[in-house]
Structure 1
């Protein structure tokens, strides 16, 4: 018996990093199959073009892409906001086909409120002139995730719970904590000055929903987290934002990834055009 899907008005997903060893594509696919969204915001770093290698593109990663494309063919509005790891897509900003569109930022209006959405790498001033250093850090982060998986495998065999090495490092390094705090405050300050009700980011892999104030006013800051460590997303339904956490969802496992994929409606032109654009990125 097919389990009924949860209906959500908006879902925001970021920092999936398809094409890397740290990506939890199977878990993401289970989540996608458990919801029925009206609008989908892919808020950057969905495909990790920085580290993309043809020799590593598992079936589960392609299934995520196909499932998202399936939503497009059904008329679900899907916005792809560019990030730093998929910055090559910025040359295609404005590209639109069906209900799919590539943008650098997005402003959504609903219930007489405005939400400002962008990835967040624009704040990385220190990295703008040292891209090679940022890419080196990304490779190191991916290796840390691989090592973390090995540690958790051993930990599981010993009957202990999982640990996040990268989280422990972030929480123990004052500069990392300061960067996150500065990131959130900067995003909030700009949003307040522009009279937005919400500011929605990704990038720092730190899921969050909280109100931030300054002398000019207040805004609700939201961050969708990631699908490397936290496995989180943002959902807007019944007039409220909520933070979805995969590890706290007791029902999502019922939507198995190995079951037959829902048939993607035939739309050869859509698939062909998207495939051409993707091939261009690899040249």
Structure 2
């Protein structure tokens, strides 16, 4: 299988370890590309909702694939989010092609890119973490319920339905929060002269130029792999929002087996870390 070469790929909000995670689709995507740089922009492993009884093989394969990419030359940056905040006490660690950081700046063809997860601008995270964690459990339960509903709709020949998108679009508070989040990120990026600001956290893939009296920036959000199944790709000086549901071209032998002892050992060490 010929893999697509991409200069930079940004993934966020995969939420490995939860029932809502589409780990198989993440692995399909990673097996179909050959990125020069891979940025994992937070909430990759959901340590908030981690259960020893639920971390299936497909989820482990995603971690092994990421390690394999790093071992084969891809520069991998893991930026911490709120659901994997446990890792923040280990940040600023560099192991070969793998780096664990809280935020990142990159030079892309002479332009400055600022990458971070985005939870720092979420008041529910900074002031009421217990409420945010409760909401996380509720969201995961809603996703499972939504999958059951969509299974029934598919059997009846009807289009799938998104409960969370319906709630987000109908609840004024949710709409306002998303708008405020995007505005704050863009305004701070403009003040600090960043050409691009790249976030995750709110599960809303987006690419929009924001202009104020002080200048302009391109706001980008990589979305998630729970509902939207999206990523950001930068290649030949152009940005693109990748949608797995429509952009992925299925081929035979798409899954790449990873059996190296090195990857297995590192994944086991990581799993032991979050279990404790």
Cα distance, 1:280 vs structure 2: 2.7
Cα distance, 1:260 vs structure 2: 5.2
- Alignment pair present for 1:280 and 2:276: no
What's the Cα RMSD here?
Answer: 1.5
Cα distance, 1:81 vs structure 2: 0.2
Which residue in the other structure is 1:212 paired with?
210
Which residue in the other structure is 1:233 paired with?
231
Cα distance, 1:110 vs structure 2: 1.9
- Tell me: CA distance 1:277–1:19, structure 2 relative to 1, closer, same or farther (3 Å): closer
Map of 1:35-74 to 2, 5 A cutoff? 35-74=33-72
User: C-alpha separation between the residues in 2 aligned to 1:272 and 1:34?
Assistant: 24
Which of 251, 258, 274 is 1:254 aligned to?
251
User: C-alpha separation between the residues in 2 aligned to 1:219 and 1:90?
Assistant: 28
User: C-alpha separation between the residues in 2 aligned to 1:179 and 1:201?
Assistant: 15
Q: What SS does structure 1 have at the residue aligned with 2:39?
A: strand
Moved over 6 A (4+): none
Map of 1:4-153 to 2, 5 A cutoff? 4-153=2-151
- Tell me: CA distance 1:6–1:260, structure 2 relative to 1, closer, same or farther (3 Å): closer
User: C-alpha separation between the residues in 2 aligned to 1:162 and 1:181?
Assistant: 26
Contact 2:64–2:267 (8 Å) recurs in 1:
no
Map of 1:188-227 to 2, 5 A cutoff? 188-227=186-225
List per-residue Cα deviations over 1:122-179 (Å, max 9, x = no partner).
0012431211111000000000000000000000000011111100110011110110
Contact 2:20–2:140 (8 Å) recurs in 1:
yes
List per-residue Cα deviations over 1:212-232 (Å, max 9, x = no partner).
111101000000000000000
Which residue in the other structure is 2:155 paired with?
157
Q: What SS does structure 2 have at the residue aligned with 1:101?
A: strand
Q: TM-score, normalised by structure 2?
A: 0.96
List per-residue Cα deviations over 1:78-137 (Å, max 9, x = no partner).
000000000000000012211001000000002110000000000012431211111000
User: C-alpha separation between the residues in 2 aligned to 1:104 and 1:192?
Assistant: 20
Q: What SS does structure 2 have at the residue aligned with 1:187?
A: helix
Q: What SS does structure 2 have at the residue aligned with 1:96?
A: strand
Q: What SS does structure 1 have at the residue aligned with 2:52?
A: coil
Question: How many residues matched?
Answer: 276
Cα distance, 1:250 vs structure 2: 4.7
